[in-house]
Amino acid sequence: MLNRRHIRVKVMQSIYAMHQHQSDNLDKEEKFLFQSIENTQNLYLLLLSALIEIKKKEEEYIELASKKHLATKEERHPNLKFINNKALVLLTESEALETALDDNNINNWKLNDDIILGLIDTIKESELYQNYMEKSTSSFEDDKNFIADLYTEVIAPSDRLYDYLEDYKLTWVDDLPGINTLIVKQIKQLKSEHDALVIPKVYKDSDDKEFVKNLFRKTVLNEVELSKEYIDKTPNWDVERIAEIDTIILKMAICELLKFPSIPTKVTINEYLEIAKEYSTPKSSIFINGILDNLVKEFDRDGKLNKAGRGLL
């Protein structure tokens, strides 16, 4: 579920939080870091369950409307295409998803059905929905593509949904883009209505989980040593005025360069430059790139880059 960049961002945020709280309780902060990472799966499950709840609420509405004393012709003979969407049915009937939702106690929408009802209203107002409902027939391919587009264009951009998620768990804000991308990718990869939905694991493998712990601990425990590597490499910058996020990114990058022999130098530099572009100031990536470029040359000259494995050049 999480890739290495996402893991690096999580570690960066945890170190930043430690600095802000002036905390030196490594075990406590590490526990919070792992909990934050584990919670990304709950976000994934919660967003997938929103699709299920949308289908269920619409079914309830159609049934109640058809039983009204003065029901209209449209209410007595409703268009069932949306609630019969094959991709939605697959999600609703997925045993793996149902089990995961139960195991993780994901029932938020039962307590916040106003958000689901608001999403339904927005969906019905969309041109995407109206065009879909006008077509008399559709294949599984059509159905899954519609749901993927609906999620991308209507559900994911919902301000009300975003506000709810932010209020519920602040750490989810930075997780949203990656989780949204994962959900859309999964929907598009479905082959037929008989496909079994696979609930992804939080970590790709045990190495990634170990990477979280090692990157966090090795950076935090060696912050003073790591900062010495770049302090005299910033002649045009007042060290005290360097953005704190930039100093953390530098320390993490230097830590990887020196203490993670299996990670290619280019991978480390590229990853942290991308993180700097997204999370720091506009000029940060240029600043960080200049320092890391000089440090790599120095480390290489002094024999400090003890890299091993394939793909390191």
pLDDT in tens, 30-81: 999 999 999 999 999 999 999 999 999 999 999 998 888 787 878 788 899 9
Q: Could you report the per-residue pLDDT of 172-217, keeping only the tens digit for each?
A: 998 999 999 999 999 999 999 999 999 999 999 999 999 999 999 9
For residue 310, tell me if it sits in a domain.
no
- The distance from CA 86 to its chain's CA centroid, rounded to whole angstroms, is 26
For residue 241, tell me if it sits in a domain.
yes
> The domain spanning residue 274 has which CATH number?
1.10.940.10
**Is residue 214 located within the same domain as residue 181?**
no
**Crossing angle for the helix pair 159-168 and 26-66, to the nearest 10 degrees:** 140
Position 99 pLDDT exceeds 70: yes
Among 155, 189, 223, give the residue marking a domain's end.
Answer: 189
- For residue 81, which phi and psi values (nearest 5 degrees)? -60, -40
- 252 within 8 A of 4, measured Cβ to Cβ: no
Provide the pLDDT confidence category of residue 126 given band limits of 50, 70 and 90. very high
**Is residue 99 located within the same domain as residue 225?**
no
Among 157, 189, 221, give the residue marking a domain's end.
Answer: 189
Share of the chain above pLDDT 70, in %: 96
> What's the average model confidence in pLDDT over 125-152?
96
- For residue 137, which phi and psi values (nearest 5 degrees)? -135, 165
Position 248 pLDDT exceeds 90: yes
The total of other beta-carbon atoms located within 10 Å of residue 180's CB is: 18
**Crossing angle for the helix pair 244-259 and 206-221, to the nearest 10 degrees:** 120
For residue 198, tell me if it sits in a domain.
no
**Is residue 92 located within the same domain as residue 232?**
no
Average pLDDT across the chain, whole number: 92
For residue 166, tell me if it sits in a domain.
yes
What integer pLDDT is reported at residue 292 of this predicted model? 95
CA distance 293 to 298: 9
**Is residue 83 located within the same domain as residue 177?**
yes
Provide the pLDDT confidence category of residue 310 given band limits of 50, 70 and 90. very low
What integer pLDDT is reported at residue 235 of this predicted model? 56
For residue 100, give its domain range: 4-189
Domain count across the chain: 2
**Is residue 182 located within the same domain as residue 212?**
no
- 53 within 8 A of 98, measured Cβ to Cβ: no
In this structure, of 102-116, 144-158, 232-246, 252-266, the range with the lowest mean pLDDT score is 232-246
Position 156 pLDDT exceeds 70: yes
What integer pLDDT is reported at residue 236 of this predicted model? 60
**Is residue 173 located within the same domain as residue 297?**
no
**Is residue 30 located within the same domain as residue 168?**
yes
Which one of 15-24, 62-71, 141-150, 296-305 scores highest in mean pLDDT? 141-150
What integer pLDDT is reported at residue 313 of this predicted model? 40
CA distance 152 to 182: 11
**Is residue 158 located within the same domain as residue 296?**
no
Provide the pLDDT confidence category of residue 311 given band limits of 50, 70 and 90. very low
**Is residue 281 located within the same domain as residue 253?**
yes
Q: Could you report the per-residue pLDDT of 277-307, keeping only the tens digit for each?
A: 999 988 889 999 999 999 999 999 999 998 8
Global pTM exceeds 0.75: yes
**Is residue 116 located within the same domain as residue 252?**
no
**Is residue 114 located within the same domain as residue 184?**
yes
Which of 45, 28, 32 lies closest to 96, judged by CA?
Answer: 45
Provide the pLDDT confidence category of residue 241 given band limits of 50, 70 and 90. low
For residue 313, tell me if it sits in a domain.
no
